[in-house]
Amino acid sequence: MADLAQIVKAYDVRGIYPAQLDEELATHFGAAFVEVTGAEAIVVGHDMRPSSPALAAAFAAGAATRGADATLIGLCSTDELYFASGSLGLPGAMFTASHNPAQYNGIKLCRAGAAPVGQDSGLAEIRALVEQWTEPGATAPEPAATRGRGTVTERDVLADYGTHLRSLVDLAAIRPLKVVVDAGNGMAGHTVPSVLAGLPLDVVPMYFELDGTFPNHEANPLDPKNIVDLQERVRAEQADLGLAFDGDADRCFVVDENGDPVSPSAVTALVAARELARNGGKGTIIHNLITSWSVPEVVKENGGTPVRTRVGHSFIKQEMARTGAIFGGEHSAHYYFRDFWNADTGMLAALHVLAALGGQDGPLSQLTASYDRYASSGEINSTVADQTARAAAVRAAYETREDVTLDTLDGLTVTSADWWFNLRASNTEPLLRLNVEARDSRTMEQIRDEVLTLVRA
């Protein structure tokens, strides 16, 4: 029996192929997905990992055994799968392990309209069925006779995906721009040529060859070592900006004309201002609690209402649905759009950055300076033996101070007039994650070092 506790995570399925996740198990997941969602039809896509096509086909075959018709869209980015789910009105499955190493694969699931499936929204029930069917001697029940076996067909949605994204951002009148794009041998190498075709852009491609072994660097642009090649190429090409995508191309990271990283908070603020302008200066913007102070400030300055949430895409999407928000952003370079079924799409955020830069004459560093107002530590991880005890020690050090406020929306956030920090425990590793921001670098470094001393004592 497969150890599903090892591979069924809070929001997706992820494990080593084929030791933890193989075609037989994928077939069971396809059948269970249909049982839990009651879907009469589903859409299935996959990334460029060597194991992905066979796993996706097995999942579709499992869905067909339960009477559902499966549409295979083949190679795609995760946000392209969300587009298919939203535009076709079908539940979907994406086979990818995002930026994980080559030996991994996984499944991201959504209901019709790209609504997320996690532990509290169907994934626990799917896991229970798969466990039941994979017990020694067990067999999956026969499908209901009234439905019979579903069909499996193929469909290409890449062109429609690109057309939809371009309909949401007007790039027709921008000045010509030179942009270096690092696909990291991931799915952006498949989607970028189609989405950016015909725009006034000189695209310099890096690592566009689809290769799930990631021969050049990990497809995780939030790790500084993975954007070094992009930074050097932007400077060498004297490009206007650089874009880096992760393995399944749902996250986008930006560097300016100097090769300097643009913080995802600054990108969030920039896109929020543009989306508010598109909506008559009204609307709700979601941001998680470790994005910069600049995000809610910019939202208010542009007539919008900022709403603060916990970290994690499920919380962002829940709040977007609850509030009718037009946009949401996270420090991890995930960007969510109401006009994209509340789903995250790095490509649409990239189009906004290109439109904003191309709509004026200054360089990107100058454009983003107004959105990047404070000194930030970035996320600092500390390995600790007892997360609870170390977090309690930090709380004890600050809770008696009269010049700060504390809240526990997600971990511990301590806020003063000139700085704030958030300390959160990892759900999967013995880590405490620290983010610090202040009005100047000296204060940020002082608070950062104070807290780290307590954490690492």
Catalytic annotation, residues? 98
Cβ 366 vs Cβ 285: under 8 Å = no
Residue 47 in 3-state DSSP?
A: coil
Tell me which amino acid residue 172 is.
A
Q: Which secondary-structure segment (H or E) carries 243?
A: strand 241-245
Angle between helices 188-195 and 346-358 (to 10 degrees): 40
Amino acid at 72: L
End-to-end CA gap in the chain: 42
* Secondary structure class of 25 (helix, strand, coil): helix
Cβ-Cβ contacts under 8 Å for 19 (sequence gap 6 or more): none
What's the token pair of residue 118? 């996690």
Give CA 241 to chain center in angstroms.
21
Distance CA 295, CA 371 (A): 8
Q: 57-68 burial by CB neighbour count: b if 16+ within 10 A, else e? A: bbbbbbbbbbbb
Map tokens 């075609």 to a residue. 23
What CA–CA distances, in Å, run from 310 to 418, 426, 439? 22, 13, 23
Instruction: Name residue, tokens 């080559």.
Output: 102
- The answer to whether residues 10 and 427 touch, using CB atoms and an 8 Å cutoff, is yes
Q: List 56's β-bridge partners, or say none.
A: none
Tokens representing residue 409 in the block: 């929306």
Phi, psi of 14 (to 5 degrees): -155, 130
User: Residues 6 or more apart from 117 whose CB is under 8 A from it?
Assistant: 37, 91, 109, 110, 111, 123, 126
**254 burial via Cβ count (<10 Å: 0-12, 13-18, 19+):** buried
**Spatial separation of the C-alpha atoms in residues 205 and 191, rounded to whole Å:** 12
Contacts (Cβ under 8 Å, ≥6 apart) of 366? none
Q: Which residues pair with 252 in a beta bridge?
A: 245
